Amino acid sequence: MTPAVNEGRGYPLRLLVLFAFALTLALIWLVLPLERGAAWALTIVGTLAACAMLAWRTRQLAHASAQNAQVLAALGTVISAIPDGMHTSMPLVLLTGDGLAALFDRDDTARLAWVGNGAIWLRVDEPNALPRLAAAVKQWRDGRAPDGVVLSVAPALHANADALAQKLRLVRQAMADASRLLGTRLPGYVAVYQRLAGRGPIALVTRDHVTDAPQWYGVASPTLLDGTSAFESAVRAAEGAVQETSRVRDAVARTARSAGIALIVDWTQRVVMGTLLDRQQPAAPWPLHGAGWIDCGPASGPDSPWEREVELRTKVAPAPIAASPLPWPLPQPLIESMPVQRQTAPRMAALGHALALLACAAAVAFWGTAKNNEVLLTKIDADLTRFRAIPSEHDAAKRDALASLVADRDQLDRYARTGVPLRLSFGMYHGAELIVPLNHAIASYAPPAPPPAVVTLDSMSLFDSGKAQLKAGSTRAMVGALEMIKAHAGKRILVAGHTDNVGDPASNLRLSVARAAAVRDWLVDASGLSTTQFAIQGYGDTRPIADNDTQEGRARNRRVEITLVPDAAKQAPSAQ
């Protein structure tokens, strides 16, 4: 099995981006109440954002795969004998710091990873590589981050305390960067490898045999440890373990071992933890979950920080101590109390995020459909209100409002027959309830009565006998005709004059024309209409409506008739 950094086994971010983009397009074009220009603008912005995120993710995966190929290939080689799936269930620990070659060079083979002691151990030679490798491990383990980071400290490998503090600060910064990159705080442990002064390892007697294997002393917890109290309990536990497990007859050796453990714990607290836990540093403090010490490590000489510490505290220069045989034991006891990760597999997390996106899209869709329905109902209500507010005398405006009602009713009928569109659905549509009031309003329209064909004015009330000038006060007789003309401003007006048969016919014809012109001029001034809308005609005595042999008949024949006719230009289409 050869692991690889790819999105197929990890979090499918690109697939999720495409899903979110599809949801966005559906909302923009099918649901949201947007103008066409705004919809296109949002579509372009969303497309550019999705393409940028896909390109960034693709580049990130390719870069991570290229950088971590060697380590991940080593992991694949090491765990090839492990059943499939165990790489996510076994604890995986990143080990950095001192003495990595002595810890990983097993079976005369240099290794980058090791499976043993109940965990997968991954070697991190450079502290700066810790964040990158932690992210690669998380991707390789289907979204499960490393279970912890162990810092190995071998005091004998450092020339002075300042150089050790500088390296500890680098590791602390790398740990903070890794936790920030992963989005979770990784548990941290410190393993100190130091040969204690004067003696070899204490022989431990079990029921079956005696073993000379070096033992770990320390403390570990699933929760964060407080430095001072944790180290005090570690010293007491270590001294007690030495007294209880040791069966050697040399009491001096036991006493020396207890004193050595107390010294190394105190030194670790002041020098190592003083740097890792100092809150004055810019990086986050080391998330301490455990610390352990073992009587194992490199050769110790008089120039190491530890030896100088012993000489300062005891006033006795310790003798040089030989290096422990390789390989050094891995700090397995430290991780036995490792906190259990409760992480969701990346594909399950992606499914949850997809459902969350779907829920957000549904919420936006509900809002959009509610808004669309509100706009529809508001428009129909406004059309109904406008139609009812227009008096029947204003027939042109009434008919325009009626056309809007008919369009609204036809739209609602179409929805009832073919189905409600998505932008109005989701249970928000109530337009069917408005069909009945629309039909009632449409049925309530009654066209106005047709205008009178002819308005007849008595010439004797307008003119003196034989005259064509309007008499004073005669305009009152034409007020009715004026109101009719204003109410039908789109009509043309024909003003015709008539006389009786008394007198010369030619004179009567000229008089009828002159009287029609006088009435026309007054109507033009009073109505404000153009002269081109009026026509005059004189008929003289040629069109009597009564018998000219009687006085009453001649009075009826002396008249001016005002007739409203449709404009010829407006009648042409209907005539055609």
- Angle at alpha carbon of residue 207, lines to 204 and 208, rounded to 5°: 90
CA distances, 2 to each of 91, 133, 135, 230 (Å): 19, 16, 17, 41
The reported pLDDT for the residue numbered 427 is: 85
Distance of alpha carbon 299 from the chain centroid: 59
CA distances, 203 to each of 165, 249, 291, 323, 344 (Å): 34, 11, 23, 18, 45
Nearest one of 241, 293, 233 to 267, comparing CA atoms: 293
**Cα gap 111→255, rounded to integer Å:** 38
- Which tokens in the block code for residue 287? 């998330």
For residue 368, the one-letter residue type is: G
**Cα gap 572→574, rounded to integer Å:** 6
Q: What is the DSSP letter of 74?
A: H
- Which tokens in the block code for residue 35? 């103008």
Longest Cα–Cα distance of the chain, Å, equals: 169
**Cα gap 95→87, rounded to integer Å:** 17
Please state whether beta strands 119-124 and 148-153 pair in parallel, antiparallel, or not at all (unpaired): unpaired
**Cα gap 320→298, rounded to integer Å:** 11
CA distances, 79 to each of 88, 112, 361, 499 (Å): 11, 12, 43, 126
| Residue that the structure tokens 């459909």 belong to | 369
H helices then E strands: how many in the chain?
20, 13
CA distances, 485 to each of 482, 497, 516, 520, 522 (Å): 5, 18, 16, 12, 13
Q: What is the CATH number of domain 454-575?
A: 3.30.1330.60
The reported pLDDT for the residue numbered 243 is: 54
Phi, psi of 66 (to 5 degrees): -70, -40
The pLDDT profile of the chain, 576 residues, written as one tens digit per residue, is 444 444 545 678 889 999 999 999 999 998 988 888 999 999 999 999 999 999 988 887 777 666 666 666 666 665 565 555 666 678 889 999 999 999 888 765 567 778 876 788 888 989 998 998 888 888 777 778 899 999 999 988 887 888 889 999 999 999 999 999 888 889 999 999 988 754 444 333 333 444 457 888 888 888 888 766 666 666 565 555 555 554 444 555 566 667 777 788 888 888 898 899 888 888 899 999 989 988 888 887 777 777 777 777 766 666 777 888 888 999 998 888 888 766 666 778 888 899 999 999 999 999 999 999 999 999 999 999 999 999 987 888 999 999 999 999 999 999 999 999 988 988 889 889 999 999 999 999 888 766 566 888 888 888 888 888 888 888 888 887 888 888 777 788 899 999 998 889 999 999 999 999 999 998 888 888 888 888 999 999 999 999 988 989 888 989 999 888 765 434 333 222
**Cα gap 322→306, rounded to integer Å:** 14
Could you tell me the end-to-end alpha-carbon distance of the chain, in angstroms, rounded to an integer?
Answer: 88
CA distances, 338 to each of 199, 225, 363 (Å): 32, 12, 42
Distance of alpha carbon 434 from the chain centroid: 36
The reported pLDDT for the residue numbered 575 is: 26
The reported pLDDT for the residue numbered 317 is: 67
**Cα gap 100→152, rounded to integer Å:** 8
**Cα gap 196→261, rounded to integer Å:** 8
DSSP string, 545-558: SS-TTSHHHHHHHS
Beta strands in 347-400 (DSSP E): none
The pTM score is 0.56
The reported pLDDT for the residue numbered 233 is: 64
Q: Are 332 and 119 in contact (CB under 8 A)?
A: yes
**Cα gap 211→232, rounded to integer Å:** 28
The reported pLDDT for the residue numbered 79 is: 59
Nearest one of 342, 361, 264, 269 to 306, comparing CA atoms: 264
Domain boundaries, the chain: 70-338, 454-575
